[in-house]
Chain A
Amino acid sequence: MNTILSDQSLIYLQIAQMLEDGILHGDWAEGAQVPSTNELARTLRINPATAAKGINQLVDDGILYKRRGIGMFVAEGAAARICAKRRAAFYDQFVRPLAAEARSLDLTREETEALLAKAFTEKKEG
């Protein structure tokens, strides 16, 4: 297995997630071309069909669009759409586990919120 992908979830989902991360972080601006199926397959040593599946999922979600004969491009408003989707999942994916872990460590709600606030300032400084 290579260093970027893991065994923990399906590879095409990881591809989709990786591209989404890149778009969110501004690696690929709206209208920019993303790596082709073959580039992804070669770099990550995966079957091109799997890479295509990941990319196609993003096409279905309206995040990427295809320009015939040229390649795949980031759609208008893609970052916003990813942002909205991830916000919807944020509570279940991050907040609930955070609260559960805090409870098992006997951290109070106030203490946890203080830590959160601290993390936010650090992030701003960083």
Chain B
Amino acid sequence: MEQKALCANNVRKQYKEKLALDGVSVTLEPGHIYGLIGRNGAGKTTLLAALTAQIPVTSGEVAYGGEPVWENEKALADLCFSREIGARADSGEAALKVKDYLRMGRLFYPHWDEEYAQALIKQFGLDVKQKIGRLSKGMQSMLTIVLALASRAPVTLLDEPVAGLDVVAREDFYRLLLDDHMATGRTFVISTHILEEGAAIFERVLILKEGKLIEDTPTDDLLARFCAVSGPAAAVEAACEGFPVLHREALGSHASFVVRAPAADITARGQAVELNALSLQKVFVALCGHEQEGQA
């Protein structure tokens, strides 16, 4: 399968009152799993829709393998954007049956793998005769996952696929995703705000904040920029001196800081402190949650 990169170049999307995307440029290289994270309303869905030409952009362009995606049958045939169903429960597809939805996939996605779809349906226990609107949130998520995986599209974008899933189903999903990724080398973009498993799955993280892409970084590199420092308060203070401290906790003479500094720089201070890496979730909170960076 020949693989091409999907690029957004300075994409802006202005809704009536809101600037949903503010000059986003990103290149999705083939063969990677990207995590698209951001708070609610940060523009995740808008970005995914713009990347697949489902909404017109205000300015900027999206290209696949160097060719514009807009109204480009060849490019669109290689892309799959599996939307979150639950978010639009009152719209048309709620009245469709599961099998009708999947039939659309079979009809519209040229790389569709019916055998795979059937196997996934069986595994998830989806009732194909049920109307989509009557499925539980978890089942709706599973339907979007079946659609995305079975599309076999070289570039597949999933919008909040794990939102309605419990931890067991999430692990199942990520296992399926990795198996498929290893077997086919497809590119995946997964938007989510549930980050527990993310660090292990996403090779790169894209972080959207208020319509701006603030990070497009390999997950490891992003995590390596932060560390948690704990130990005697004086030692922690000395070790973190001069670095932006994002979060501090003190309990008696023991202190624990989250600091934006590579672990090596802290170690170099020679203080007797314990260093730990941060989870992706904590890094995300540090980047998108705390506006008062550097303050006490």
A38 vs B199: C-alpha distance in the bound complex, in angstroms? 17
A45/B178 contact (C-beta < 8 A), A7-B279, A8-B277 known? yes
List, in ascending order, chain B residues with CB within 8 A of A105's CB.
none
Tell me, yes or no, whether A70 is within 8 Å of chain B by CB: no
Do residues B277 and A9 form an inter-chain contact, with CB atoms below 8 A? yes
Q: Could you say which of B175, B220, B223, B276 contacts A45, with CB atoms under 8 Å apart?
A: B175
A11/B276 contact (C-beta < 8 A), A42-B179, A45-B171, A45-B175 known? no
Q: Could you say which of B32, B200, B276 contacts A8, with CB atoms under 8 Å apart?
A: B276
List, in ascending order, chain A residues with CB within 8 A of B175's CB.
42, 45
A45/B197 contact (C-beta < 8 A), A50-B220, A53-B220 known? yes
Tell me, yes or no, whether B174 is within 8 Å of chain A by CB: yes
Tell me, yes or no, whether A65 is within 8 Å of chain B by CB: no
List, in ascending order, chain B residues with CB within 8 A of A47's CB.
33, 178, 200-203, 219
A8 vs B278: C-alpha distance in the bound complex, in angstroms? 7
Q: Could you say which of B174, B178, B220, B278 contacts A11, with CB atoms under 8 Å apart?
A: B220
Tell me, yes or no, whether A100 is within 8 Å of chain B by CB: yes
Do residues A10 and B181 form an inter-chain contact, with CB atoms below 8 A? no
- B175 CB to nearest chain A CB (Å): 6
Q: Could you say which of B33, B200, B219, B224 contacts A1, with CB atoms under 8 Å apart?
A: B200
List, in ascending order, chain A residues with CB within 8 A of B178's CB.
41-42, 45-48
Do residues B200 and A5 form an inter-chain contact, with CB atoms below 8 A? yes
Do residues A45 and B32 form an inter-chain contact, with CB atoms below 8 A? no
List, in ascending order, chain A residues with CB within 8 A of B276's CB.
8-9
A47 vs B199: C-alpha distance in the bound complex, in angstroms? 9
Closest chain B residue to A54 by CB distance?
Answer: B220
- A125 CB to nearest chain B CB (Å): 32
Tell me, yes or no, whether B293 is within 8 Å of chain A by CB: no
A8 vs B223: C-alpha distance in the bound complex, in angstroms? 11
List, in ascending order, chain A residues with CB within 8 A of B219's CB.
47, 50
27 A-B pairs (CB sep. < 8 Å): A7-B278, A8-B276, A8-B277, A9-B276, A9-B277, A10-B223, A41-B178, A41-B182, A42-B175, A42-B178, A44-B200, A45-B174, A45-B175, A45-B178, A45-B201, A46-B178, A46-B200, A47-B201, A47-B202, A47-B219, A48-B178, A48-B182, A50-B219, A50-B220, A53-B220, A96-B272, A97-B272
